[in-house]
A and B are shown apart, each in its own frame.
Chain A
Amino acid sequence: MTTTTSSADQLPVLEARAVTKRFAGVTALDSVDFAVRPGESMALMGENGAGKSTLIKVLTGVYQPDDGDLLLSGASTRFAWPLDAQKAGVSTIYQEVNLIPLMSVAQNIFLGREPRNRIGLIDFRRMYTDARTLLDTYGIEVDVRRPLRSLALGIQQMVALARAVSINARVVIMDEPTSSLEAREVETLFSVVRLLRDQGIAIVYVSHRMDEIYRVCESVTVLRDGRVVQVGSLAEIPRVELVSLMLGRSVDRVQRSGATAFGATHSSDAPPVLVAADLSRKHQIDGIDIQIRPGEVVGLGGLLGSGRSETLKAMAGVMQLDRGSVTIDGKAVRSGSVPAAIRAGIVMLPEDRKVEGIVPNLSVRDNIVLAALPRLSRGGFTSRRNQDAVVDVFMKRLHIKASSPDQVVSELSGGNQQKVMIARWLAMNPKVLLLDEPTRGIDVGAKAEVQALIDELAGEGLAIVLVSSEVEEVVEGSARVIVLRDGSMGTELDGAEVTEQHLLAALAGAAEPMNSAPERPGEGR
């Protein structure tokens, strides 16, 4: 079946030309070109910090570009604020629906333009009929009199879509629309998206889920570090290449080693210290199995949104599980309790050091001993001598640079703050150390030190799980890599398989055939 929506020859309905946006000296978008044509569904992809959300905000009038132009159907335009973009027919559907939960479906659809009767009151009968007709077109069955919040999230999103389209939308931007939907709801959403596309509406689709992208979209724009690195038809870009483009790693380039300070990779034959089985939580992770041996560094790979951090949180007791178990040396650890996990010997270095890690107003000493404080106290009273014994050891061992243990931790550099965090956990004598992006946002020197420390700790028999968005860190640091995809188990790489090429392929889910042809309108339904 050949396509009817060959849109390449049409004028883009919305276009950004050489758009640049800076924030306090940081360039978020660097001369970015972006265009979407009527009836085209364009995937917008990129890892953290690539500039996707900035671009969306420029396209919808939330931000003004510092440089470059916006064009609407070829004519230069300017969105002074979001309402301008909406009036011009650019609608955005966010992952969280932004409608009014207590109003009925019909009221939400016609909010601000309700049909009136002769004396100027709202004509409810007509509003209900019109709303039903509109939703019927998209195959959405719902009682339009019900308050929006009584409906499933997927239906709410569909209502938001219907509202957007009924207000003359020409471009619909969808930001991670499926992140909180059930599988069945996703199907309905996709069929609506295809219908919209058939009507000549342009779709900009932002998602981290490879499968979805290849199913719904026909073209893709890949951003990295604020620049466009690729624009093209998805049919011509295999998954592996898409992933390498996003991560900035070339597939066939011979990998130099030694980009990190990791020495040996640590594997082990000892029986596993931690066994996590079937870790599951709705919308986040599903059936994750992990075993780690003492002295082993296991990498946890995956793209953004693959469930890496969630898996760590599940093991560390931060996240309540729907299903699954964690055991340490064969003993079950109570799920959803941080103290229980810590008592069992599982500790986690959180991803967001500033918000979840340090206590900014406390001293270096207080931060290091925070978790261990009860053990270093006698009868509820703190003991400076006991604390100093621990603090001195770790400040020396981890080379924490502070004027004194009394210095306020927020005055230290990011790298030293991270070392304080590591010290906090080592002071608990853990068995398993979960590291979530341990080297993010710290300078090169500190980064090498942290990597060397991971090596050293594994050498001493600590079991370590390493999550990092830097491919070389995972590859060089880990003896084994478990790759997660969309919250489920993907491939596992072991020994000689732990290479960048294998990891990239696994991240892309290339175990399946090169799935390239997006579904065409009318297919499958």
Chain B
Amino acid sequence: MTQGTLTFSLPRRGAALAVLQRYGVYIAIAVLLLYNLFFTPNFFALDNFRTQFVQVVPVLIVALGMALVIGTEGIDLSVGGVMALAAAVIPLYIGYGLIPVVILVILVGAFIGLVNGSLVALVGVQPIVATLSLMVAGRGLALLIANGQLKSVTDPGILAVGRGDLAGVPFSVIIAVILVFGVALLVNRTTFGKQLMAVGGSRRAAELSGLPVKRILLLTYVLCSSLAAVAGVIGTARLGASVPSTLGNLIELSAITAVVVGGTPLTGGQVRVIGTVAGALLLQFISATLIKHNVPDAYSQITQAVIILLAVYIQRGRTATK
């Protein structure tokens, strides 16, 4: 969080809104944890937290890429399709070893990103339309490759990614932490990150300032799909099975929710990496809380819808106060 210090120069109501906008997601997490501390038995057990973190990893990794795309005023609906492709490709090439298959899967993801990015940056298709077609095509292709079948994955290397740990910390969580730092660094400390936000803030101004706008957009979609491919590997590893028909289904919605709840505006120009992490965690904790209190899963989805509405409403307030 490199937002600097808060200055309360706004009137009282505005100030409250500003706090909510900037720290709302953290406050929500704190309230939720507090509630669970008193009302949910065993929530604060170490095992439970480990489970929660392991479960959140795929959504979190997808959300990181989504945050970048949303930062350019875009959206990527094809992330679930990319995860399905990853799942379909893994059993075919796992014989070559873990590292080659991971590289291959990331390349497949990057290729989908290249198609997305080309449609958006070069052809000028609206991001939602471009990635919608890849969302459908990606999963369709995955089912074609896998012959529509579920295959179990038994390679010890890939199973370790899903189930192994280092000094008690699951590998998948370690990977996620590394990626979070990587993306945070990319956004806040690199030329590319600044240019990405400039493109999202005002594409016309970026073009007139001589920025390689098309290249920036291409690279952003490639990054997003590559991260989704990594999420596909981790998801498959955790299941111990290649399930192209359902892996990553509707994950684009969770990822977009996490990004928006975390304070990244859908209008582009800003990317909040740590906020995105918090957004993903909040969603995870909410669904865990509901499950532990035996609330049906359908309600969990409704809650998610309410939260995204609330987050967008609060953000709208931000632009309105300017």
Q: Does A342 contact B (CB under 8 A)?
A: yes
Q: Does A380 contact B (CB under 8 A)?
A: yes
Q: Does B163 contact A (CB under 8 A)?
A: no
Proximity bits, B1-38, A CB within 8 Å = 1, else 0:
00010000000000000000000000000000000000
Minimum distance in angstroms from B201 CB to a CB of chain A: 4
A-B residue pairs in contact (CB < 8 Å), sample of 20: A318-B208, A338-B207, A338-B208, A338-B209, A356-B208, A357-B205, A358-B202, A362-B194, A362-B197, A362-B201, A366-B197, A371-B210, A371-B211, A373-B195, A374-B191, A377-B190, A382-B189, A382-B190, A410-B322, A411-B322
| Complex interface: chain A residues within 8 A of B211 (CB) | 370-371
Q: Which residue of A lies closest to B322 (CB)?
A: A410
**Which of A341, A356, A410, A424 is in CB contact (< 8 Å) with B204?**
A356
Q: Does B270 contact A (CB under 8 A)?
A: yes
| Complex interface: chain B residues within 8 A of A411 (CB) | 322
Proximity bits, B179-217, A CB within 8 Å = 1, else 0:
000000000011111110110011011111111100000
Bound Cα distance from A350 to B191, whole angstroms? 23
Q: Does A380 lie within 8 Å of B205, measured CB to CB?
A: no
Given known A-B contacts A356-B205, A359-B205, A361-B201, A373 and B189 have beta carbons under 8 A apart: no
| Complex interface: chain A residues within 8 A of B127 (CB) | none
Name the interface residues of A343-361: CB closer than 8 Å to any CB of B: 348, 350, 355-361
Q: Does B269 contact A (CB under 8 A)?
A: yes
**Which of B190, B192, B208 is in CB contact (< 8 Å) with A348?**
B208
| Complex interface: chain B residues within 8 A of A356 (CB) | 202, 204-205, 208
Name the interface residues of B195-244: CB closer than 8 Å to any CB of A: 195, 197-198, 201-202, 204-212
Q: Does A370 lie within 8 Å of B190, measured CB to CB?
A: no
Bound Cα distance from A377 to B195, whole angstroms? 12
Residues of B within 8 A of A (CB): 4, 189-195, 197-198, 201-202, 204-212, 269-270, 322
Bound Cα distance from A370 to B194, whole angstroms? 8
Given known A-B contacts A359-B198, A361-B270, A366-B194, A381 and B209 have beta carbons under 8 A apart: no
Known: A356-B208, A360-B201, A362-B194. 5 other contacts (CB 8 A): A366-B194, A370-B211, A373-B195, A380-B190, A380-B191
Taking each of A362, A366, A371, A374, which has the highest tally of chain B beta carbons within 10 Å of its own beta carbon? Answer: A362
Q: Does B191 lie within 8 Å of A339, measured CB to CB?
A: no
| Complex interface: chain A residues within 8 A of B193 (CB) | 382
Bound Cα distance from A355 to B211, whole angstroms? 16
| Complex interface: chain B residues within 8 A of A382 (CB) | 189-191, 193-194
Taking each of A348, A357, A359, A410, which has the highest tally of chain B beta carbons within 10 Å of its own beta carbon? Answer: A359
Q: Which residue of A lies closest to B198 (CB)?
A: A359
Q: Which residue of A lies closest to B207 (CB)?
A: A338
Given known A-B contacts A339-B210, A370-B198, A381 and B205 have beta carbons under 8 A apart: no
Bound Cα distance from A93 to B189, whole angstroms? 53
Q: Does B191 lie within 8 Å of A373, measured CB to CB?
A: yes
Taking each of A348, A350, A370, A374, which has the highest tally of chain B beta carbons within 10 Å of its own beta carbon? Answer: A370
Bound Cα distance from A342 to B194, whole angstroms? 19
Bound Cα distance from A411 to B7, whole angstroms? 14
Given known A-B contacts A350-B208, A357-B205, A380 and B192 have beta carbons under 8 A apart: yes
Q: Does A406 contact B (CB under 8 A)?
A: yes
Q: Does A339 lie within 8 Å of B197, measured CB to CB?
A: no
Minimum distance in angstroms from B195 CB to a CB of chain A: 7
Q: Does B209 lie within 8 Å of A371, measured CB to CB?
A: yes
Q: Which residue of A lies closest to B199 (CB)?
A: A359
Q: In terms of DSSP, what is the predominant structure of the interface of chain A?
A: mixed
Q: Does A360 lie within 8 Å of B202, measured CB to CB?
A: yes
Bound Cα distance from A318 to B207, whole angstroms? 9
| Complex interface: chain A residues within 8 A of B206 (CB) | 359, 370
| Complex interface: chain A residues within 8 A of B210 (CB) | 338-339, 341-342, 371
Q: Does B269 lie within 8 Å of A339, measured CB to CB?
A: no
Q: Which residue of B lies closest to A337 (CB)?
A: B210
Bound Cα distance from A236 to B129, whole angstroms? 59
Interface pairs A-B: 7 shortest CB-CB: A359-B201, A361-B269, A342-B210, A371-B209, A339-B210, A377-B191, A359-B202
Bound Cα distance from A202 to B208, whole angstroms? 44
Given known A-B contacts A342-B210, A382-B189, A355 and B204 have beta carbons under 8 A apart: yes
Bound Cα distance from A382 to B189, whole angstroms? 5
Minimum distance in angstroms from B273 CB to a CB of chain A: 16
Taking each of B191, B193, B208, which has the highest tally of chain A beta carbons within 10 Å of its own beta carbon? Answer: B208
Minimum distance in angstroms from A341 CB to a CB of chain B: 8
Q: Does A424 lie within 8 Å of B198, measured CB to CB?
A: no
| Complex interface: chain B residues within 8 A of A350 (CB) | 208
Given known A-B contacts A356-B204, A362-B197, A370 and B191 have beta carbons under 8 A apart: no
Q: Does B205 lie within 8 Å of A358, measured CB to CB?
A: yes
| Complex interface: chain A residues within 8 A of B194 (CB) | 362, 366, 370, 373, 382
Bound Cα distance from A366 to B194, whole angstroms? 8
Minimum distance in angstroms from B54 CB to a CB of chain A: 32
Bound Cα distance from A339 to B210, whole angstroms? 4
Minimum distance in angstroms from B212 CB to a CB of chain A: 7
**Which of A339, A348, A361, A424 is in CB contact (< 8 Å) with B212?**
A339
| Complex interface: chain B residues within 8 A of A341 (CB) | 210
Taking each of B4, B204, B212, which has the highest tally of chain A beta carbons within 10 Å of its own beta carbon? Answer: B204
| Complex interface: chain A residues within 8 A of B269 (CB) | 359-362
Q: Does B204 lie within 8 Å of A381, measured CB to CB?
A: no
| Complex interface: chain B residues within 8 A of A366 (CB) | 194, 197-198
| Complex interface: chain B residues within 8 A of A361 (CB) | 197, 201, 269-270
Q: Which residue of B lies closest to A377 (CB)?
A: B191
Q: Which residue of B lies closest to A403 (CB)?
A: B7
Q: Which residue of A lies closest to B191 (CB)?
A: A377
| Complex interface: chain B residues within 8 A of A318 (CB) | 208
| Complex interface: chain B residues within 8 A of A424 (CB) | 209
Minimum distance in angstroms from A152 CB to a CB of chain B: 25
Bound Cα distance from A377 to B212, whole angstroms? 16
Q: Which residue of A lies closest to B185 (CB)?
A: A381
| Complex interface: chain A residues within 8 A of B190 (CB) | 377, 380-382
Proximity bits, A376-394, B CB within 8 Å = 1, else 0:
0100111000000000000
| Complex interface: chain B residues within 8 A of A339 (CB) | 210, 212
Bound Cα distance from A397 to B196, whole angstroms? 29
Name the interface residues of A305-334: CB closer than 8 Å to any CB of B: 316, 318
Q: Which residue of A lies closest to B9 (CB)?
A: A403
Given known A-B contacts A339-B212, A362-B197, A370-B211, A355 and B191 have beta carbons under 8 A apart: no
| Complex interface: chain B residues within 8 A of A348 (CB) | 208
Minimum distance in angstroms from B190 CB to a CB of chain A: 5
Minimum distance in angstroms from B3 CB to a CB of chain A: 10
| Complex interface: chain A residues within 8 A of B212 (CB) | 339
Minimum distance in angstroms from A465 CB to a CB of chain B: 16
Bound Cα distance from A374 to B209, whole angstroms? 12
Taking each of B210, B269, B270, which has the highest tally of chain A beta carbons within 10 Å of its own beta carbon? Answer: B210
Q: Does B192 lie within 8 Å of A355, measured CB to CB?
A: no
Q: Does A370 lie within 8 Å of B197, measured CB to CB?
A: no
Bound Cα distance from A484 to B212, whole angstroms? 32
Q: Does B198 lie within 8 Å of A362, measured CB to CB?
A: yes
Minimum distance in angstroms from B188 CB to a CB of chain A: 9
